[in-house]
Amino acid sequence: MASLTLKLLLAVLPLAGGKKRLAELFRVTAAAFGRQAPDLHGLSRREMLRRYAQFTRAQAEESMSAGSADGIRKKLFDGSRSLARDIRRRLPIRSRADEAAVLRFLYRSLDIDKQVDDQGAVRIRRCFFASHYPPEVCRFMAAMDEGMVAGICGGRLVFSQRLTEGAEACRGLITWPQGTDE
């Protein structure tokens, strides 16, 4: 179970900066693609998410067709991991349960119902992006998820099922580095 301090902190964070965090994610993602993030001023969080989905799909498809997918995926992973490490430094994360709670919180702000248990089992029943991404774009953009998990947990995320491929939920597993709490 996540610590009380962390739970209280996460309870008040949605009130402060949800759109700011999304704009930062947009900036990091655009930089990985070698682009400037579009002007998001005055947009609702939902509209920002829609624009992010459109932008990332177009950029991912362009990267895949240009043959630059591996390099861009590495940049997406690195940018997401850096962003996640910064988030981790600001929070009192002391256990796997805390890491799982932070991941659930971060993904909820993206309209993704991500459930993570203390053993690392991941289940996503609802994902905003599933209706915007074809399967190949979903696999491409998973570099962002992999980087986020690496930055928050120090672990590795591997998906075994995806909503975009017809599964009833995305399923994956986080493997933590040796020596972290059980």
| Residue 133 dihedral angles phi and psi, to the nearest 5° | -110, 135
Domain of 103 in residue numbering reads as 4-175
116-147 tens-digit pLDDT: 987 899 999 999 999 999 999 999 999 999 99
Give the domain CATH number at 149: 3.30.1380
Residues 6+ apart with CB under 8 A from 180: 96, 154, 155
pTM of the model: 0.90
Is residue 25 assigned to a domain? yes
Count of domains forming the chain: 1
* Two structure tokens written together for 161: 């099922």
Helix residue ranges, H only, 33-168: 45-66, 69-90, 96-108, 135-153
Is residue 180 assigned to a domain? no
Is residue 160 assigned to a domain? yes
Query: What whole-number distance in Å separates Cα of residue 70 and Cα of residue 64?
Result: 9
Is residue 181 assigned to a domain? no
Percentage of residues in the chain having pLDDT higher than 90:
71
Is residue 83 assigned to a domain? yes
